[in-house]
Amino acid sequence: MDESSLPWIILLAPLVSVAVIVFLTQGSRTISAGVSILAVLVSFVASCLVFHAPDPAGVNQITWLDFPALHVPIGVTIDQLSKTMLIVVTGIGALIHIYSAGYMKGDDGESRYFAGLSLFMFSMLGIVLANNFVMMFIFWELVGVSSYVLIGHWFFRDAPPAAANKAFITNRIGDFGFMLGILMLWLATKSVVFTEIEKSLGVSKFENLNLTAATLLIFCGTIGKSAQFPLHVWLPDAMEGPTPVSALIHAATMVAAGVYMLARVFFLVQASPDAQWVIAFIGTITSLMAASMAIQQNDIKRILAYSTLSQLGYMVMAIGMLSKEAAMFHLFTHAFFKALLFLGAGAVIYGMHHEQDIWKMGGLGKKMPLTCATFAVGTLALIGCPGFSGHFSKEMILAAALSGSKWTFAAALATAFLTSFYMVRLFVVVFLGEPKTDAAKHGHDAPPVMALPLVILAIPSFLAGYGFFISHFVPLHGTEAPGFVSLFAFLAFASGAVMAVLLYRGKKEDPIHIGLLANKYYFDEIYAALIRWTQELLARQCGRFDRWVLDGLVRLLSGGTYAAGFALRSFQVGNLQAYAFLFGAGIVAFLWYVVSK
Amino acid sequence: MIKDYLPILIQAVVAIGFAASALVVSIILGKAGKRNPTKDTAYECGMLPEGNAQPRFSVKFYQVAMLFILFDIEIVFMYPWAVVFREFVRAHHPVIFWSMLSFVSILTVGYVYAIKKGALDWKK
Amino acid sequence: MMPAIYLEAIVLTLGVLLVLMEAFSNSEEKTPVAWLGIVGLTFVFILTFFTANDLSASPYSAFYHADFRAIFFKRFALLTTIVVLVLSIEYRGVVQKYVFGSRPQAGLGEFYALPVFTCAGLMWMASAVDFIMIFVSLELVTISFYILVAYMRRNAGSLEAGVKYLILSALSTGFFVYGITWIYGVTGQTSLEKIGAILLGLKVSHGPLLFGFMLVLTGLGFKIACAPFQIWVPDVYQGAPTPVTAFLSVGSKAAGFIVLMRVAEVFLPVPWINHKAVTILVALAALSLLYGNLAAMPQHNLKRLMAYSSIAHAGYILIAVACIGSRYANIAVSFYLAGYLLMTLLTFLVMAAVANQAGGDDIVHFNGLGKRSPYLAFAMLAAMASLAGIPLTVGFFGKFLIFYVAYEKGQFLLMGIGVLTVAAGFYYYFKVVRAMYWKEPADDTPVRTSPLTGATIAALAFCIFFLGVYPAPVIRALEGPPSDNPRLLAR
């Protein structure tokens, strides 16, 4: 087999799986699950082969649209960036598929669920492989669709469909900006292919292109998909979906697509200094704000969701600080330990019969030793405990923050402190102390099919930061953090952890209560009010326009047509003469115009 | 060049003028008689007219007339062809012969079709 | 590689053969005539791929061009006629009801044979570059349409449509020929090429020439059914037999547009004509867009709705005609027409099938089609989505190209009207979709179609989606292979 066909296999295997499940195996849950897992394994193996092959020299693409004005190929990019991302997406994807087989057992919609997962894999791999904006945008939207399907998997309940809608609509806002950005670039450079745009940007300055505006519009896509402030509101709600989905889509891969996209078009960010500041600012705000919200949440998945927001903010900030390596490094390690944490949370929820409130748990460490141990690894990695993967990547992020200003560094440090605080709080409340409910007393470890992915994920969560591991994936050349950064990072980690232990050990309910944080800074309420208000205003104006202008026009025309038809129909002969007369009148009018000077 | 069209203009003026003056003169000189139904009939004396003034003709009539005109007009094409035929063949090419032959053969198809469909059969 | 002119000769011979077969055969069954027509035209369609399209070698090049566009439109005409014949077979019951004669299927043979002659005329027109040639082929098309429109002679609607079409069409032809004589009077030429050369030599405005060009434009305006020469369209479309309506709306329109393009490409580059002609074309396009789309909104009868939609689509294509001079105007027009062929013929096929069973072609007859025959309903959905211009259908790319060309030439007024009317289009096309999927059916019996019709419907729907995702083949066919194409070589 030709090596250049491997990327296509990676991309198409999940699509084939979707087709097979939808058209053939919808009846049998087991076969559907098998097909989907097989597909993702094929993609994974092919990804590994691609990973080990040297970067291909030529362009691997076929022409899709060959319009005079618009030339869009379907092509793949294989470079260090996409190779790393392929491994992350297919590797974690494969584990989560396997985990899902256990978690979703007995669910009526299992076939639909696996079709959705495969569709997601297809779209996500499309984003990773895309070599042009149009293709990326299409897969970008497809990812949104599959996320919608999966969040709303339990559509018969109240919350999931609402959450799915919220996610979809919020993303639309960002995507609109993304689309406008693509259009701006296309109109200026006459190309949508990344490499061609990069080349033409390097060769000449475009008079008609406001590069900062274009970059910021493209960044809107990231704001939506990676749930950055102010469009972050959808991600915590998206936790209404099944937990493996949260792990795969809303922690490890899809939400990281925004960061990946920025890394892919890094040349744009580099070329527009003004945009860099906005990006860094948004990232910093998001990370700090989300971390502060996390400390007052009680739902285990929501805490992790806010943590995801906060870490994504870190990555975006790093991009804004022009440290692509730091962002990708953190993306890489974060994908493993956050997936691990979510799967661990899933195991807890599974063991607790779908109870998600951490204050109804407690003492689970003894009941579920394996889950507890792996969860501990994930937590330590996330809070940046020395020796764990998160420590290394977080240090690089902090170093990147330092390169901006002391304020960003302080904000990043505060975030690190808060992260440590809320994660230890979570761990202490859930796994230590006494069981607080009956369900917690009878908790048990997950079945092997779910435990295996936990164990496998725990390994890279620990190791991924070390040089011998990461150097294969993200080239980190000569980016050593200054010593005092490490010191500050350690202090933030240690103080947060200690404070959380002291505050929460043996407590039956939350000793502190900060309404502003528990209510997420009232963002949902503000947005709801804002939307209601503008919508009402807009609707009223539209209604007016509709009633007076459109209706009037339609009525005038239809009434006119009817009246004319009626009048003419009563005179069969007059009808034809009238037609001929109108015809002649039209000609006379035109001729008069033409011959007149 | 415009001068060449002067006679046509004069003729048009005369024609319109004659018609108009005839109408005007008849209105001035003539006395409008009283109208009654008898006066409006086609003949003031003799038998009363019966039936429609515009009787329906059989469609056969139109059919045959149309076919006649059709084939008649085709013959018109042959006159100029025959006039230039010898000279054209000598000067250029005998393609002119085959052109007319194809034309006639297409006509023949139409003719055969008309006969077969009974278009020329008056009684049918 | 054979000369392109053989194609027309073969089609014409096929038509003659069909007529004679009908005259001489004693069989009651007339459907074989249609079958033979379909097979013959398919054969010619295949032949088009083995046709030389080289201009210089042809002895007729002064009045006959066989460029890529001509070949493309010849295929277009053939494909349309094939589908129309399929549609005629589906529709034969209705024709039979209104054309009873001495024998049960009397008259059906000609109903199948006449479209073949029309097809020959359309194909000829695609290549015609001389006013005499254009006129003769135009008449071949029009005269066969006179007969076809009024074909159901015991049906008052069909007869009414026939009379209206005859008189108004004759009127427009009169203007067309009158325009040609003025142009001939000034230039002494009928060949477009030579007229073009003379035109470029004229530096100052020439009234009679403009007058002639405008008359030609109005004559063509009638053929493409654009406002204000659209007045005949709704009545004639509704009254004519459904296959003929389909043929009119696709074939006649396409023929009008290719002639319009050929003529406009000669006249528009002349500066003093360009100014006025573009204004006229913009006005025609704007009027057609507004009239077609707005008047379609209150319609309840699908056939009539399609008539207004046909006017509206003429408006969209005219946008691109008004932009002649843009390198891609020609491609935009041809691509749009190709898409229009697919979606319009698909609509009429489904309509004929549904009308056969429900007994009418009002929108209410489509109620609950989604439940009765999901596949038919899906095909109709594809057609409607494409007519409305939704992405992933061929209609989207058609509109995309049109708007791109308008953008390039700075026709922002037309773009604005176009975008607004596209929105209006959604409203009435989705009335049909709503009826199919959200209304309860009057009865639950599925709509039956013959295998041939079913296969044609499936093929058309497939093409709509295929070209909606991958439009390259059509564009390739219009531009020729990359090796002949300067644009592609430059890349």
pLDDT tens per residue, range C211-262? 899 899 999 998 898 878 888 888 889 889 999 999 999 988 998 999 999 9
Beta pairing class for A60-66 and A71-76 = antiparallel
Q: Quick check: helix, strand or coil at residue A155?
A: coil
Question: Is C167 at the interface with chain A, CB within 8 A?
Answer: yes
Residue A570 structure tokens: 């009563």
Residues 6+ apart with CB under 8 A from A209: A184, A185, A187, A188, A189
- pLDDT score for A574: 44
C211/A595 touch (CB, cutoff 8 Å), yes or no: yes
Task: State the pLDDT confidence band at C490, using cuts at 50, 70 and 90.
Answer: very low
**pLDDT (mean) for A414-432:** 85
| C-alpha closest to that of C174 among C216, C205, C227 | C216
Q: A504: which DSSP letter?
A: H
How far is Cα A449 from Cα A95, in angstroms, rounded to an integer? Answer: 10
Q: Is pLDDT at C483 greater than 80 in this prediction?
A: no
- A255 neighbors A188 (Cβ within 8 angstroms): no
CA distances from A175 to A19, A122, A220, A261, C186 (A): 27, 19, 7, 13, 59
CA distances from A583 to A577, A579, C170, C479 (A): 10, 6, 12, 37
List of chains touching C (3+ CB pairs within 8 A): A, B
Complex-level ipTM beyond the 0.95 threshold: no
Question: Is C228 at the interface with chain A, CB within 8 A?
Answer: yes
> Minimal Cα distance from C20: which residue of B?
B113
Q: What residues of C are in contact with residue A583 (Cβ under 8 Å)?
A: 168, 171-172, 222, 228-229, 231-232
How far is Cα A358 from Cα A296, in angstroms, rounded to an integer? Answer: 11
C404/A69 touch (CB, cutoff 8 Å), yes or no: yes
pLDDT tens per residue, range B74-118? 888 888 889 988 888 888 777 888 888 988 988 888 889 888 888
- C77 neighbors C254 (Cβ within 8 angstroms): yes
Residue A154 structure tokens: 């339990």
Question: Is B109 at the interface with chain C, CB within 8 A?
Answer: yes
Q: Which of C11, C12, C13, C16 to mutate to test the interface with B (most CBs of B within 10 A)?
A: C16
**3-state SS string over A277-305?**
HHHHHHHHHHHHHHHHHHCCCCEHHHHHH
Nearest to A586 among C228, C297, C470 (CB): C228
DSSP A119-151: HHHHHHHHHHHB-BHHHHHHHHHHHHHHHHHHH
Q: Is pLDDT at A208 greater than 70 in this prediction?
A: no
Percent of chain B with pLDDT over 70: 90
The tally of CA atoms less than 13 A away on the side-chain side of residue A229 is: 24
One-letter amino acid at C308 equals: Y
Question: Is C55 at the interface with chain B, CB within 8 A?
Answer: no
Q: Is pLDDT at A204 greater than 70 in this prediction?
A: no
Question: Is B14 at the interface with chain C, CB within 8 A?
Answer: no
A vs C, Cβ pairs < 8 A, gives 94
pTM of the predicted structure, to 2 decimals:
0.74
Question: Is C490 at the interface with chain A, CB within 8 A?
Answer: no
> Minimal Cα distance from C218: which residue of A?
A587
List of chains touching B (3+ CB pairs within 8 A): C
Task: State the pLDDT confidence band at C488, using cuts at 50, 70 and 90.
Answer: very low
How far is Cα C128 from Cα C72, in angstroms, rounded to an integer? Answer: 14
- pLDDT score for C349: 93
- pLDDT score for C84: 94
Q: Do chains C and A touch (3 or more CB pairs under 8 A)?
A: yes
Q: Is pLDDT at A261 greater than 80 in this prediction?
A: yes
Q: What residues of B are in contact with residue C16 (Cβ under 8 Å)?
A: 106, 109
Per mean pLDDT, which of A341-350, A353-362, A500-509, B32-41 is the most reliable? A341-350
**pLDDT (mean) for A99-115:** 81
- pLDDT score for A68: 63
Task: State the pLDDT confidence band at C491, using cuts at 50, 70 and 90.
Answer: very low
Task: State the pLDDT confidence band at A406, using cuts at 50, 70 and 90.
Answer: confident
- pLDDT score for A552: 73
Q: Which of A112-121, A557-566, A583-592, C295-304 has the lowest mean pLDDT?
A: A557-566
Question: Is C147 at the interface with chain B, CB within 8 A?
Answer: no
Q: What residues of C are in contact with residue B117 (Cβ under 8 Å)?
A: 23
Task: State the pLDDT confidence band at A569, using cuts at 50, 70 and 90.
Answer: very low
Q: A72: which DSSP letter?
A: E
- Distance, C-alpha A79 to centroid of its chain: 22
Residues 6+ apart with CB under 8 A from C98: C152, C153, C154, C155, C158
Mean pLDDT of chain C: 86
Nearest to C401 among A67, A562, A590 (CB): A67
Q: Which of C5, C8, C20, C144 to mutate to test the interface with B (most CBs of B within 10 A)?
A: C20
pLDDT tens per residue, range C415-461? 888 888 888 788 888 888 888 888 888 777 888 888 899 999 999 99
Percent of chain A with pLDDT over 90: 0
C-alpha angle A238/A240/A243, rounded to 5°? Answer: 95
Enumerate residues 45 to 84 of chain A having a beta carbon within 8 A of any beta carbon in chain C.
Answer: 63-71
**3-state SS string over chain C?**
CEECHHHHHHHHHHHHHHHHHHHHCCCCCCHHHHHHHHHHHHHHHHHHHHEECCCCCCCCCCCECCCHHHHHHHHHHHHHHHHHHHHHHHHHHHHHHHCCCCCCCCCHHHHHHHHHHHHHHHHHHHHECEHHHHHHHHHHHHHHHHHHHCCCCCCHHHHHHHHHHHHHHHHHHHHHHHHHHHHHHHHCCCEHHHHHHHHHHCCCCCHHHHHHHHHHHHHHHHHHCCCCCCCCHHHHHHHCCHHHHHHHHHHHHHHHHHHHHHHHHHHCCCHHHHHHHHHHHHHHHHHHHHHHHHHHCCCCEHHHHHHHHHHHHHHHHHHHHHCECECCHHHHHHHHHHHHHHHHHHHHHHHHHHHHHHCCCEHHHHCCHHHHCHHHHHHHHHHHHHHHCCCCCHHHHHHHHHHHHHHHCCCHHHHHHHHHHHHHHHHHHHHHHHHHHHCCCCCCCCCCCCHHHHHHHHHHHHHHHHHHHCCHHHHHHHHCCHHHCHHHHHC
Task: State the pLDDT confidence band at A228, using cuts at 50, 70 and 90.
Answer: confident
- pLDDT score for A207: 61
Beta bridge partners of A132: A193
How far is Cα C16 from Cα A57, in angstroms, rounded to an integer? Answer: 61
